[in-house]
Structure 1
Amino acid sequence: MVEAYVLIQTEVGRAEVVAKQLAALPGVVSAEYVTGPYDVVLRISADTPAGLQSDVIPAVQQVAGITRTLTCPIADPDRP
């Protein structure tokens, strides 16, 4: 299992709507709208790194209202 956080900037006033749409996507573990330099923080997962790249991340980036994403893979060597 591979997981990552995705930090998302949205169009003004769209954070809550975008977070709710993202929460329904396959591979999204959690979606929270937040305050600060980013508007939404996601936790995503897939069976392989390739699965994140080819399936989950493109689906996230296609949601209307997103202006920028930053994907941060979770680096935890102690995880099974």
Structure 2
Amino acid sequence: MVQAYILIQTEVGKASAVAGVVSEVPGVTQVDDVTGPYDVIARAEAETVDEIGRMVVARVQQVEGITRTLTCPVVHI
């Protein structure tokens, strides 16, 4: 199982709505509103890195109010 953090920037005032929609995406296990350069951080898991990439492009980035995402796969060093 591959896990990743998805850092999400939103339009002003849209963080809460975006977090609610992203939390319903299959494979997303946790979503938090945060402060700083990103507005929402989601944790996701899938069988492969490619599946996480497809999830982000096909599902997460399509959520209204998202302006940018950055996907950070979890590594075990």
Instruction: Provide the TM-score with structure 2 as the length reference.
Output: 0.93
Looking at CA atoms only, which structure, 1 or 2, has the larger radius of gyration?
Answer: 1
Aligned residues: percent identity?
Answer: 53
Aligned-residue CA RMSD (Å)? 0.9
CA-CA distance at 1:75 after TM superposition: 0.6
Q: Which residue number in structure 1 is paired with residue 6 of structure 2?
A: 6
1:34-80 CA deviation, whole Å, 9 max, x = no partner?
Answer: 111110000011011121122x1121110000001111000114xxx
Tell me the distance in 2 between the aligned counterparts of 1:13 and 1:44. Answer: 24
Q: How many residues were matched structurally?
A: 76
Tell me the distance in 1 between the aligned counterparts of 2:47 and 2:9. Answer: 26
Q: Which residue number in structure 1 is paired with residue 56 of structure 2?
A: 57
- Residues 38-53 of structure 1 aligned to structure 2 (within 5 Å): 38-53=38-53
Moved over 3 A (4+): none
Structure 2: runs of 5+ lacking an equivalent: none
Structure 1: runs of 5+ lacking an equivalent: none
Instruction: Provide the TM-score with structure 1 as the length reference.
Output: 0.90
